[in-house]
Structures are given as structure tokens and as C-alpha cells.
Amino acid sequence: MPELRALYFSALAEAAALAMEPVVGAGMGWLEWDIVRQRDLTAQAMQLDPVKPFTNEQVAVAMDEMVAFARGRAAFVMCQAAILTGTMNPLCVVP
């Protein structure tokens, strides 16, 4: 059903645009901002937890990976959607 396929890719584009939407004064997109915000909110409690299943270093690495994911995910989704719909933008660089 072509109309459902078009709706799906339209929803993907909208979600990607929202994820990249800049947060005023933050210098980053919404998705990255929210991950950083939640990391900062829980960092002290996580570090002080005596029975946590991961080391502080492991958590820091995982959080850095989540931030990197947020930075690149929207562009990746948009490029993949362009490839699948045949509207490939020459500026799209898919890792």
C-alpha cells in the first residue's frame, strides 16, 4: 500500500526532525539534550550507589555512547529513508 509506505516515511522524517530540533540555549538537539539532562539528573546517585551492577567508568562510557547515538541518529534515519524512497540526497553520508 503506497499511501501507508508514504505515511511511514513521513512519520520517520518528522521524528528525525523533532530529535534534531534545537533546544534554546542548549546548543544541541532535543534528543541529545534529553539524554544529557537525564544523565546529569542521575549521575550523583549512580556514582554513590554501593550495589550498582556496573562501574562508574562503564556507565560513563555507555552515557557517552548514548550521546553520540543521539547526535547521529536523526541524520542516519533521514539518509536511510532517502535511500529507501529513491530520493537520495548527494549530501547524505551514511556511516
Cβ neighbours of residue 73 closer than 8 Å, sequence gap 6 or more: 16, 19, 31
- Please count the helices (runs of H) and the strands (runs of E) in the chain: 3, 0
pLDDT 10s digit of each residue in the chain, 95 long? 889 999 999 999 899 999 999 999 999 999 999 999 999 999 999 999 999 999 999 999 999 999 999 999 998 898 888 888 888 776 676 55
The domain limits of the chain are 2-85
Are the C-beta atoms of 78 and 16 separated by less than 8 Å? yes
> pTM above the 0.95 mark?
no
